[in-house]
Amino acid sequence: AQTVTQSQPEMSVQEAETVTLSCTYDTSESDYYLFWYKQPPSRQMILVIRQEAYKQQNATENRFSVNFQKAAKSFSLKISDSQLGDAAMYFCAYNPTQGGSEKLVFGKGMKLTVNP
Amino acid sequence: DTGVSQDPRHKITKRGQNVTFRCDPISEHNRLYWYRQTLGQGPEFLTYFQNEAQLEKSRLLSDRFSAERPKGSFSTLEIQRTEQGDSAMYLCASSSRSGTSEGDEQFFGPGTRLTVL
């Protein structure tokens, strides 16, 4: 079974600094998608960034970038120039593509606090 | 259309009662998902529809749970004979499959928080 592990339940960062959120996953598949979703307090979950497993180039979206290490099954998220609005729960998620499954498998999440 | 909506946002019920939640996806989205999120955990997949067809169900979806999407638009999730363990946030998401692309972004609703007393 596919599993996603986020080993750090909480992290904090100073405003304008850089923080890295870690995620590892377990799968026997070779083709899949990985996501980072953000869930602000009392607000709905939104997509931060997406990575396709067959692409070696790490995805980047403005201040957000990933370090995708397929052999190590690691998928970390780097947030540069942290802003107060980045404070939220962050979830790493895996989407298998083989077998036609459309589900997302989520980690337990990590609470990010941004200090002014 | 401003996004995925869910109704009600909060539901308190007594053990043994039936409850029904509604999800309205983004209008052009043909795929709809239900997840359950308990405190301190990430969302867990329950089921997924493509148009009106229910294509995948999790083992978490016991026989007390049923989901429908009769016209391929809104969906309902019903829980019969609720138990205290059903207390959770129930999230709905939708996506639009474009051509043969995969890994489509799922857009989430605000969720329905269920409390079973």
In order of B46, B83, B98, the CA distances from B95 in angstroms are 16, 31, 9
- Percent of chain A scored above 90 by pLDDT? 77
From A104's Cα to the closest Cα of chain B, the distance in A is: 7
* Beta carbons within 8 Å of B34's beta carbon, 6+ residues apart: B23, B45, B46, B47, B48, B67, B75, B77, B90, B91, B92
Residue B103 has its nearest CB partner, among A33, A100, A105, at: A33
**Within an 8 Å CB–CB cutoff, is residue A103 touching chain B?**
yes
Strand partners, A36: A49, A92
Between B99 and A7, name the one with better pLDDT.
Answer: A7
Provide the token pair at A2: 């596919």
Give residue-wise pLDDT tens across range A31-56: 899 999 999 988 899 999 999 888 88
Give the 3-state secondary structure of residue A40: coil
For position B92, what pLDDT does the model report?
97
Give residue-wise pLDDT tens across range B18-61: 999 999 999 889 999 999 999 989 999 999 999 999 998 888 88
To test the contact with chain A by mutation, choose from B2, B50, B55, B105 the residue with the greatest count of A C-beta atoms within 10 A, namely B105
Please list every residue in chain B whose beta carbon sits closer than 8 Å to the beta carbon of residue A105.
Answer: 45
Integer Rg of chain A from CA: 14
For position B53, what pLDDT does the model report?
92
Between B60 and A85, name the one with better pLDDT.
Answer: A85
Give residue-wise pLDDT tens across range B92-105: 999 987 655 556 78
